[in-house]
Structures are given as structure tokens and as C-alpha cells.
Structure 1
């Protein structure tokens, strides 16, 4: 039988080369969890063996239950009737299987019924589910909502809500967007107020809410009357009860199995999560960063599916007496798709590890504080790790979602006219890919989110250490190219910062972020090439192309090709 974990050699390679020792040690409380739960791992090897088994289960369900029903789910879509939303038959079937396999509380602590598995492993599960059916990820991948309650809610809220997520008896939604507040969440107007008994209630409308029919809703609302910015917003949790009316579900281009709802809150009873006024500036930003990582994994899963469809079709389709797989322009497209896939996978799981480390260091600090111990050493580390994770998360979403669209586009092109027809899966994959670089922050907003870390050269020390590292054989030549790319980046960065022009910095941001990403991924691939001979070829192809891109980006910046932006009205209007 097919298995989306064991069949994917690159995913297995990434898993086998993960370094999660410190992360797992903190998560397992130095493996003392095994004293309370007999199914908890007793050491690192035991933990990794458990994770592998879980990923094999996910891979089996994805390949043999979810994937075969994806086309039918796309055709059927979610249903909306008499104000009620129901999932497509295949969606509900998949959720039933995932629930029976106890996979709906992936990262939650065992205390609340979860598996206590690191986020990095969870992202691997999301990749596989998304490869099978991207729309299902929008339900399975919303476990970050439970994580937010765990991280910021009080113990009573954790006891009430988290077991429901872990048992699969409840799905969730994060209700952030409004008709007039899309990416600009500071403009949120939905009102939160306390009635005469002190009960918080919600009143207003939310729009474009993924899985808005979920049982448990995290809602961003304006709790401070008279405020107009993010400092007046708080986070609330409530049930999608009779006071929450689903006004409609959207008729979308893709991910049809995932209902996207417009919600009306009619004095809905709610509970404040964490502190007032921290809703946007702390809780939502943390929640969205988790969602951005999940969408990156979703995009990678779609890209893997598109590549598999293109490869299979190219090998089967004959033209001019031979399979089109052997026609050089087609072969070259497939090779580029493969390189993008593997480089993106390296970036995703490196970023996931940094995010895991940040989260676990935060937990470690809280544990030490509770024991009255010194936390200064961990706080210093956390500060640097947080900076890196805050840079890499938007950078990863930018690279992976843009690449997913490119890979899906090329996969359809390889199919030719047939790919434009609904009989072929690639048509659905193209539609599904398109949302990934839009929701949870468009690609343009990811650039805005990443540029601060790039300007401050957050990875500078990492790059300096890599430049001092010796690489064997032909890899030394690739290391020299990466040094050249680093010089190009620093030269471009100096050119931008010397201008001391905020507008110029903004318009040069994309070129700088891309150069920084090429450099980081290049070193990731170089390290992988030392471990696996097949990766040498991947690293060579990626780094040589990345050098050309960096040269183009520097030229674009220094020629000030975007000076036309200063005259946009004259050109566009």
C-alpha cells in the first residue's frame, strides 16, 4: 500500500537528520513524563521511534483514505443549508479516521489528551495531509488554536477546551478578519463588552473565516471602547452556539472541502484569553506565525502532489515516438521542480526547528520561574532564537507559497491541454495552490514582516561561522559561491541603508529578503550534501541558480529600477 511518509525519500531524509534532542528533552521534562504516562518515551531514541510510527500512520491515512477522495471532495464541497454547515462526505470520513487514530491533539500535552509531539513533526504531518487534500489541512491544521489556549489561557480554560480538541469532538476557527479589516487587523471593530453580570459578550461580523463552523472559536474583538488601534483589542474564546449565525459560506476558486464562513455574533457569551489589550500585539501575532508555518507546509504538500502528477504524466504521455519525459525542455522543468521541492523542504523543517526551540525555551523559563531558579541564561538564548524564528517564519511562507504556485503552474503546463480539464488532478492542485500565498498574510506582507530581520542581519553570526567551515571535494566550490553571494548581499544592504531613505528601503525589501533566503537555503543544502551524495546535485543546481538571482537582485537595487514607484500616479492613472 502507498504511504506518503515512507514513499517520500526526501521527507524521510529530513526526518532522519532532524536534531530535536534539546526540544524533546524539554517537552518530556527530562523524560520524567514516562513516570506518569507509560506510553511516553524514555529517551530520545524512543521518542524519535514514536514519531516515526505516528508519521507512518499519517502517511497511510493520507495516501489511502484522504487522497483517493480528494477529487470527490473538491466536486462536492462543503454544504450550507438553513444556516448550518456540513462537510463533504470525504472530508468527514477523513476526520473520522484521524480522530480514531488519535491525531487531533498532535502538539498538546498528554495532560489534556494530546500526543505532546514537537511542531516540526506536526509540520511533516500537515505536509502529507495537504499532499492528499489541501482543503483537509484547513481543519486538521488548525490545531494552533488549541496551542494558543494552552499558551495563554488559564487552567480552567485549558481543562474545558483542550480535551475537546485532542479527542476530535471539536474543531476550531480563528475569527480575525472582518469586511473592513483584512490584513490590517488594527481596524477590527467587532465589539466585546461585559454585561451587568460581568459576562463578556461579542457583537459584530467576521468574514472569510476558515472552518468558521467550528465548535470552538478564537475571536479578536475590540474590548476597549473609544480605541481605534491594536491596543484596544483582546482575544476571546467562545462556542459556535446558536448566538453565532453563519450567514453564508464563500464560493471559492479552490480548497472546496474547507468551508470559509461569514459569521455574525449576536451577544455571544465569551471568555477573555490572557490579558486585555494584548489580543493583537501578542496573541494574534503568535497565532498567525503558527498558521503561516502550517500554510507553508500546506503549500509544500500541494507542490509535492503537483510534481508527482507531472512526473507520472510525462513518463506516460508519448509524442513524436517517445515519452515527453525525454524531451529536454520538459525534463528541465521537472528537474527545476524537484530542486525547488527539496530546497523548500529543507527550509521548512529548519524553520520549524527554530520555532520549536523558541517555544520550548519559553516553557523551560516558566518551569524554572515556578521553581524559583535563575532564568537569565535561557532568557539570553531565547532572545536570539526568537529573532531568528521571527525572521524565518515569514521568509519561509514567502518562498514556499510562491514556489508552490510555480510548481503547480509548471505541472499543468507539462500536462498541456489535458491539464486544463477537470478530469486531471493537476487542475485542482493549481486552484488549491493559489490561496497559499494570499491567506495568513500575502507574500507582500511576508516581505514586510521579514525585512527587519534582514536589515539587522539576524543570521549574520550563522553565516560567518559557515564561511569558516571546510567542505570536502566539489562542495568547496559551492561554498565559495555562497561567500560571493554573501558579499553581494552585504554590498546591496549597504547601498540601501546608506541612502537613509525609508521609502527606498521598502521598495528594495523584496530583493533583499530573497537574497537572504537564497543564502540561508544554500547553506542548508550544502550541509545536507555532506551527508548524502544525491544532495550534492541538488545543492549544485540550487546554488548556481541562486547566484544568478542574487546578481539580478543587486542590479535591480543599484539601478534603482523601482524609481518608477515615485511616479506611480503618472504611470497608472
Structure 2
């Protein structure tokens, strides 16, 4: 149940929408060209509480539930995805690990600072040999007296260069009958042996920094073990990722809506042989397909969020929403470039950036292939259960 009434949320939503459209959209080219979020935009996001909108109010956040989160995600998706990435890990995959699995001491130490944006949290799960499926994790944590010693390599870690805290997943033992043997630790930036590489150069999402992170004999106290339990890690990762998948669905819908809006505007004013191209039936057919995909995606993202909040479905529905919406936005972005013709391939056009930015949505927080396995496997398991 959300801590925020519909009336109060409507005000938050309207404020975020206005901020995105009037403050952020005009700076998109600057963000892309400098590969960085301007400091004044970062400060505005902090002042609005965006670093902690999904953190409960008792820890200084706004306390929005996932259904409300998705509505904001649709707004964040309307502009440079790097802006959402700036505070996405605090509210999402990293922050939610602490909200759902942290001890009282861990929550009181970190959550208020995460909610204000004074601490940026990174989610250190992905490895060169373990991406969408955490079961392949190789980073190790070994108990040594009152400490844990962590060794391993992580890659594509969002906000790593800016992070004050790394929510780090490591294997404490091989998987056995007692559980998967994956724990999660809170590792402050600057801990000896923790090294962050320079940020990656990516196809899109300039300004959203990801980096390799290495752990070489990194020592943390026993109190850094999230939940005080060695088997919390796998469950924490799966829970955070499922929630994140619904958020990404909303983000995809927002990006698709922007691509459509740009395309409709272009079709209305651009002429070919003296006729606006929007009068051509084939262009109208493209726009119709885009609109249909967006409306379906919006309904699906909202439905998955409602099912997550109620507890009805926190596994299959998030994967269905992410699979459909991220594949949909890829098609919409491609069509948007097509409608723009040669100009759509030019760097100064918004649809060119969207085309590159949204390609990542089908990859992170579980690839489309992994979503298909979760959906299909889940349906078959349920059928077998129903038959017994």
C-alpha cells in the first residue's frame, strides 16, 4: 500500500512532468555531448526528492509504491535516459535491497542518506561470466574472524564512479541443499582493495556512467552482511530485479511516447512534393502501429505494477511487461527514424538519440531471452503444480 495519497501523488507527478519537459528536455544535447549530467540538474533532482522517491517515508523518502513509480518512469523515459539513471539505483535495485532485506542498523546507517541523494548507491551484481542469471556468480566472500574478505570482478556497474556505497553480491559457498550460497554486502567506496575503472564508452545513454569494479582482498565487518544471512543475496537480487523490470517497462513506454511525438510533429510539417508526409497513408500506418504499441505497453506496465503491489504476481508479470515494452520501444524508435528519413540518421535529431538509448533496455536487468525463460518456465511449472 502506498504511503502517498492519489491527490498528493498527482502533485508530485505534475511537478516531475513539468521539470522533465521544461528543465531537462532543453538540456538533452548538452548531456549527450558532455557525457555528464549538469550539476544544477542533479541538485534540482535532489531538491525534489527524486533520489528517494521509492524509499519509505520513515527513512526520509517519498514512499511511492511501484504503481506510482511506473507513472514517474514514463515521465523519465520521455527525456535522456541518463537523467533517470542518476537516481535510479538509489530508488531501485540498490536501495530496495536495503529496504527489503537490510537489518535495522543497516537501514538507519544508510537509507536516509540514500533517500536525500547524499549517498549514491550502486548495485554490484553483473560479472563478465554472470549477467542476467546471478546463479553464475564468481565473486567470492570468505569469512575471516569478524570480517569478510571479498575478491572478484564486476562489470557494467551503473554510477560506480559516483557511488558512495556498493551493494555487492558474492558467493560464500557453492550452491547446496541449504540455498544458493549467494550473500550481499555493503561495501563503502574507498574501502582498500576496491577499485573502480574509468567509465565505459557506450553506444547510447551518454551521461549514464557504467564501469568495471574490482575487489581485491576487500575487507568488510560482519555487520556489512545484508540481513545478517549468507543466503539473502540471491533472493534480494531476484526481488530487486523483478521490481526493476516493471520500472524499466514504464521507462520504455515514456521513450516510445517521445519518439512518437517527435514523429507526428515531423510528419505534420515536413513536405514531400508539396504535401505533408503525414498525409501519406503509409506514414499514417507507421504512426498507427507506434500508437498501438505504446498504448498496449502502457496498459501492460500499469497492470504489472498493480499485480506487484498487491502481491498477486511478482515474477511472471514483471518479465512479461519488460519483454513486451522494451521490444516495443525498439520497434517504435526504428520506425521513428524511418519516418524522419535521412534526417533521422543525423546526430542533432532527437529520434537518433532515442534509437541508440533504448537499445540497452532489452539488455539490462535481464535480457529479453532471460525474460522469455522466466515466463515460459514459470507457466510450465505452474501447470505441473496444478496437475499434482
Question: Structure 1 pair 201/127, CA: closer, same or farther in 2 (3 Å)?
Answer: farther
Once residues 147 and 180 of structure 1 are traced to their aligned partners in structure 2, the CA distance between those partners, rounded to angstroms, is: 24
Question: Structure 1 pair 438/89, CA: closer, same or farther in 2 (3 Å)?
Answer: closer
Deviation at 1:269, TM superposition (A): 3.8
Alignment partner of 1:172 out of 96, 113, 121: 121
Q: Is the 8 A contact 1:130 1:302 kept in 2?
A: yes
Deviation at 1:62, TM superposition (A): 0.9
Deviation at 1:324, TM superposition (A): 0.4
Once residues 426 and 49 of structure 1 are traced to their aligned partners in structure 2, the CA distance between those partners, rounded to angstroms, is: 34
Alignment partner of 1:395 out of 320, 324, 331: 320
Once residues 46 and 291 of structure 2 are traced to their aligned partners in structure 1, the CA distance between those partners, rounded to angstroms, is: 33
Q: Is the 8 A contact 2:37 2:83 kept in 1?
A: no
Residue 26 of structure 2 corresponds to residue 68 of structure 1: yes
Partner of 1:128: 75
Deviation at 1:227, TM superposition (A): 5.6
Residue 158 of structure 2 corresponds to residue 210 of structure 1: yes
TM-score of the pair, normalised by structure 2: 0.92
Once residues 241 and 436 of structure 1 are traced to their aligned partners in structure 2, the CA distance between those partners, rounded to angstroms, is: 30
For residues 297-323 of structure 1, the C-alpha deviation after alignment (integer angstroms, 9 at most, x for no partner) is: 221121111111111111110112111
Deviation at 1:354, TM superposition (A): 1.1
Deviation at 1:59, TM superposition (A): 0.6
Query: Which residues in structure 2 correspond to 1:172-191 (within 5 Å)?
Result: 172-191=121-140
Once residues 191 and 98 of structure 2 are traced to their aligned partners in structure 1, the CA distance between those partners, rounded to angstroms, is: 22
For residues 306-350 of structure 1, the C-alpha deviation after alignment (integer angstroms, 9 at most, x for no partner) is: 111111111110112111011000011111111111111011011
Partner of 1:239: 188
Partner of 1:349: 302
Query: Which residues in structure 2 correspond to 1:72-471 (within 5 Å)?
Result: 72-77=30-35, 88-90=36-38, 92-142=39-89, 143-144=91-92, 145-196=94-145, 198-213=146-161, 214-224=163-173, 231-243=180-192, 244-270=194-220, 271-274=224-227, 275-280=229-234, 282-358=235-311, 385=312, 388-455=313-380
Q: Is the 8 A contact 1:123 1:297 kept in 2?
A: yes
Once residues 155 and 354 of structure 1 are traced to their aligned partners in structure 2, the CA distance between those partners, rounded to angstroms, is: 28
Once residues 348 and 89 of structure 1 are traced to their aligned partners in structure 2, the CA distance between those partners, rounded to angstroms, is: 27
Question: Structure 2 unaligned runs (5+)?
Answer: none
Relative CO higher for 1 or 2, CA cutoff 8 Å, sep ≥ 6?
2
Q: Which moved more, 1:412-421 or 1:432-441?
A: 432-441
Q: Is the 8 A contact 1:395 1:450 kept in 2?
A: yes
Residue 107 of structure 1 aligns to a residue whose secondary structure is coil
TM-score of the pair, normalised by structure 1: 0.63
Deviation at 1:412, TM superposition (A): 0.3
Residue 263 of structure 1 aligns to a residue whose secondary structure is strand
Partner of 1:59: 17
For residues 202-247 of structure 1, the C-alpha deviation after alignment (integer angstroms, 9 at most, x for no partner) is: 22211111222221211110112x6699722111112122532112
Once residues 272 and 279 of structure 1 are traced to their aligned partners in structure 2, the CA distance between those partners, rounded to angstroms, is: 9
Q: Is the 8 A contact 1:150 1:158 kept in 2?
A: yes
Partner of 1:361: none
For residues 62-114 of structure 1, the C-alpha deviation after alignment (integer angstroms, 9 at most, x for no partner) is: 1112211112211211xxxxxxxxxx143x33221111112221122221111
Between Structure 1 and Structure 2, which shows a larger proportion of helix residues?
A: 1
Query: Which residues in structure 2 correspond to 1:15-30 (within 5 Å)?
Result: 23-24=1-2, 27=3
Deviation at 1:141, TM superposition (A): 2.1
Deviation at 1:195, TM superposition (A): 3.1
